[in-house]
Each structure stands twice: as structure tokens, then as C-alpha cells.
Homo-oligomer: A and B are copies of this chain.
């Protein structure tokens, strides 16, 4: 079996600027060529674009604009976890022997059409993800006694982590009180419980085992992948757990041969504070009902183990770029290059990227 590594990565500054999607894509792709040893445009067999933008043929456009003439090239869309989907697709081309080197670029504009859940026409008017997150929060509070203050710790922690992430859209510290005093958006969630949609882009370069060392002395291997799409009508009558995450994690752990206790650093899809708690429980990093106190511990001890770059809440959430920025961060952590964000002795990393009211999850396990 071919092993596949992340050998280079790049993330742009997330912002509220009005930039064409082609420009965003190129801003993340160009540094890959500037910063990767021995890489020329001719090496790249695959170019995949991850986005919710309505523009077509973007992988061919970014290929042309960066001088690549790939074999395999298309766009991938799965709302908020388009990024991990695209990376796992690129992984599979290399595993299958159809490619040695793949560039995956994700980008989203500020006005992305992916921010509205059009898909929900069949289930009433819950078109914005916050309505789903609020139902999760209400259920979690009822079952586990989770409090608004505990949720506030997640936001405060991720904003604090983002202060050391130069690409975060607004690296600013917020206290627990700041979060608690932010505007109530629904009965159960406040403004600072939410991630902020923004413009941004990110890219990763994957290589086969045969080619990895040509491009990097510190390749980061993808040792496990797992994915699951459920749907609202499939979930058990339990809004406190995320079945798609449980299933995706189980696949990824089995493939990597690890237990959740072995994870040293993780980027997880904290679209809302409540999501981070439910994800950590779904991933088995903490038992069900224990994530809230765990978040407080992380905050109080200054641990960067969960969402070291600040997650979606701290860094911003440019939909199609998010999963790729998460993978870039974990690769950076495992290379030991995360500077002030560096988690000590990070040996096993995890990425968790999720879509659409938690109906779809992708998990990657990575190691140096």
C-alpha cells in the first residue's frame, strides 16, 4: 500500500475583504511553489479545488493561472467539509496509483452561497446552521447540565489560541464575560458562540511515499481517514451526539491503528461552541457529557491541544478553505513548525471537518 504524505501547505490571511475566488485560490497555491523544495509545475498530477462558490471549472482556471497542466482536475463541494473531502479524494488518487503529487486548494468568498442551508427545504425553515446548533445546545444542556458559561470557555479558549495565528481574521482575546455578554442570537447561543464566515484560502500538497522525500524532509503521513454522511432523518432521537463523527472517527482510528487517547493535537470543526463539545465526545477524546469541563481545563491550563490555530471560532470560517486550513495546521504542528502555537511533542494529530447540521463528518489521522 502506498503511503501518502502532506509535504507542503499554505494558508492566506482570513479577512472580510471582497476578493474574486480565482484570486483567493491563487493566493494559496502560489506559495506552495515558492516554498516547496524541488517542486515544479510539471510534477503536479492532480489539482482539486474545494469551494462552495458557484463559479465553474475553477480547478482548470487555477491550474492555468499557476502554470500547471494536471492529469486530474475538478472541483469538490460538500458544504463546510468540502476541504477534507477534496483532500481524501486526492489521497485516494495517489493510493490508487493514478497520481504521485496532488495539489488541493480551497477558497471561499465572503458571500458564499454555502452559508445558507438550501438543502433544508424539505424540513421547514431551519435554513441557517445556528438553528440546528441551538437544538444541539438545548439537548446537551438538558441531558448533561451544560451551561452557557461552559460554552463560553470554548469560545474564549479558541479566540485566545487564535491570537498566535497570524492568518486568523481577527486575532483578539475575549474573556468569559465578553462571551457571556455578547448578543443572544437564539435562546441557547450568543454571537461569540458562533464562527464567523469570512474570505480565505488554503492549500496542501500531497505526495506518494516514492516522491515525498523529494519535496520535504518532514513529510506528515496521512495514516487514517474516515468519512460518514448521515441525514437528519437517520439520526437516532438524540440531538446530543453526532453519529457521522462517531462513525468517521471509528474508521480513521481503525485504519491508523490508534486509540483516541493517543491524539496529541486536533483541529475540530467548532462551527459553534456546542459543536466542539459534541465533537470531542464523538471522537472519544472525552466521554459523553465531559467535554464542557475539559474545555475549562484546556482554557485554564493554556493547553493548545484542541484547535491550536483557534479553530473556526478563532480563525474564521471560509467554508471551502476550512478543512484544508485545518489539515495545514496539523501538518505544521507535526512538523514542529507552529512557532508560538506549537504543541509540545506532537506525535499524532487529528483533523475533524463537518458539514450541514453535523450530517457529514470527515476525520484524518496524521503523524510525522
Name A residues whose Cβ lies closer than 8 Å to a Cβ of B.
1, 47, 52, 54-57, 59-61, 63-64, 69-79, 82, 85-86, 88-89, 91-93, 95-98, 113-114, 117-119, 225-234, 247-248, 251, 355-356, 359-360
Are A79 and B93 neighbours in the complex by a CB distance under 8 Å?
no
Q: How far apart sit A212 and B173, CA to CA, in the bound complex (Å)?
A: 56
Q: Which of B59, B95, B228, B234 contacts A96 (CB 8 A)?
A: B95
CA distance A267 to B35 in the complex (A): 43
A-B contacts besides A64-B231, A72-B229, 18 pairs, CB < 8 Å: A52-B56, A56-B119, A57-B118, A57-B355, A60-B231, A64-B232, A64-B233, A70-B229, A71-B226, A71-B248, A72-B85, A74-B82, A74-B85, A75-B76, A76-B76, A89-B93, A92-B93, A95-B98
Of chain B, the residue at the smallest CB distance from A55 is B118
Contact present for A75 and B72 (CB under 8 Å) = no
Q: In the assembly, what is the distance between CA of A89 and CA of B229, in Å?
A: 18
Is the pair A234, B69 in contact by a Cβ cutoff of 8 Å? yes
B88, B96, B97, B117: which contacts A72 (Cβ < 8 A)?
Answer: B88
Between A and B, 30 residue pairs with Cβ closer than 8 Å are: A47-B229, A54-B54, A54-B113, A56-B79, A56-B118, A56-B119, A57-B77, A57-B79, A57-B117, A57-B118, A59-B229, A60-B119, A60-B355, A60-B360, A64-B232, A69-B228, A70-B228, A71-B227, A71-B228, A71-B247, A71-B251, A72-B227, A74-B78, A74-B85, A77-B77, A88-B98, A92-B95, A92-B96, A93-B96, A95-B96
Docked pose: A234 CA to B70 CA in angstroms = 12
Chain B residues contacting A92 (CB-CB under 8 Å) are 89, 92-93, 95-96, 98
A298 nearest CB across to chain B (Å): 30
In the complex, what distance in Å separates the CA atom of A354 from the CA atom of B86?
A: 21
How close is A343's CB to chain B, nearest CB, in angstroms?
Answer: 29
Known A-B contacts A60-B231, A91-B96, A92-B95; A360 and B119 likewise in contact (beta carbons under 8 Å)? no
